[in-house]
Amino acid sequence: MHRKVAVLLGGKSAEREISLKTGEAVYQALLELGYTAIKIDTAGPVISQLNDFQPDVVFIALHGKYGEDGTIQGVVETLGYPYTGCGVLASALAMDKIYTKKILVYDGIPTAKFMTVAQNDIAFENLPNFYNKVKEEIGYPLVVKAPTQGSTIGIYFISKEEELLESIKNAFTYDPVIMIEKFIEGTEVTVSVLGNEKPFALPSLEIISKTGRYDYKAKYTKGLSEHIIPARVPKETDQLISELAVKTYKAIGCRGFARVDFIVDKNLQPFVLEINTIPGMTETSLLPDAARAVGIEFPQLVEKIVNLALGIE
């Protein structure tokens, strides 16, 4: 008898559209593998549908808020069903870029210089002081980030002081505390990691955006970005990136699968940008591409993730 898998998709986050694509691709792969599968859109009633279906495992194919941040993981855990990917704490930590960075710094994992800003830090009378602090601590160019958004939503690239305030105000529409980070020019490389107790890195993948910036549009429009596997960096650098990806995965406490994003500067120094605990699983996505490079086709990748949820390494 084949296992029953409930695929959670859609949801209420800004990344709903991508989640529907990820969930559909996973669902089709499960059917192809002979699993009994259903799709549940978490924008509707979740608990009653899960309890009616009584799955052996829940495949969480949600991105962004309420799906990738530990909230749905807590619900599924409380109901007692095994589920794919990271647990409650790792999901919550990785979803918040500020807490991720604090852990990276604590564990000595290289990441770009950053500072946090709360709304009352930029009260009108403090502005000159604030501008000086940013200039001294971070310097230009820099990146303003809303820490809990994914898919490059709420991210602003700033080259001069005049552009700073508006971007900060925009970022505050997503989160009450935001992050200002040093912009590092370099090669975008991502490394996917699979496993529970014995995590291993898949080949590195270099991202080239045709638009010059790997933003939401470049990410999800076919033909606007190109993936090169492995990344075009020296062997030692590639090795270091893989080691740092696994180290980051362990530092956050991940299980199942995740994807660590890097920027490699002109001195070949890799910096961790963030970790995604539910990376996209669509036809243009990075993780399936990296898996394919080592002979793991999409259905096998889905099955591996299901097995890891059940504790089978």
Residue spans per domain, the chain: 4-84, 93-110+185-309, 114-182
**Catalytically annotated residue among 13, 91, 276, 285:** 276
Residue 216 pLDDT level (bands cut at 50, 70, 90): low
Told to judge if 151 belongs to the known catalytic residues of this protein, a careful annotator would answer: yes
Write down the pLDDT at residue 218. 54
Question: pTM for this structure?
Answer: 0.92
Topology classification of domain 4-84: Rossmann fold (3.40.50)
Three-state DSSP state, 199: coil
Radius of gyration of the chain (CA): 20
Report how far residue 98's alpha carbon sits from residue 100's, in angstroms, rounded to the nearest whole number. 5
Report how far residue 100's alpha carbon sits from residue 91's, in angstroms, rounded to the nearest whole number. 10
Write down the pLDDT at residue 128. 87
Told to judge if 170 belongs to the known catalytic residues of this protein, a careful annotator would answer: no
Told to judge if 292 belongs to the known catalytic residues of this protein, a careful annotator would answer: no
Q: Lowest-confidence range among 84-88, 216-220, 239-243?
A: 216-220
Reported CATH class of domain 93-110+185-309: alpha beta
Instruction: Dump pLDDT digits (tens) for 156-194.
Output: 999 999 999 999 999 999 999 999 999 999 999 999 999
Residue 284 pLDDT level (bands cut at 50, 70, 90): confident
**Catalytically annotated residue among 259, 285, 289, 303:** 259
**Catalytically annotated residue among 274, 285, 289, 303:** 274
**Catalytically annotated residue among 11, 23, 154, 280:** 280
Type of residue found at 303: E
- Whose tokens are 């980070």? That residue is 181
Report how far residue 137's alpha carbon sits from residue 87's, in angstroms, rounded to the nearest whole number. 34
Told to judge if 3 belongs to the known catalytic residues of this protein, a careful annotator would answer: no
Q: Are the CB atoms for 150 and 15 separated by under 8 Å?
A: yes
Pairing of strands 4-9, 57-60: parallel
Q: Tell me the average pLDDT of the chain.
A: 93
Q: What superfamily in CATH does domain 114-182 come from?
A: ATP-grasp fold, A domain (3.30.1490.20)
Type of residue found at 101: K
Write down the pLDDT at residue 1. 58
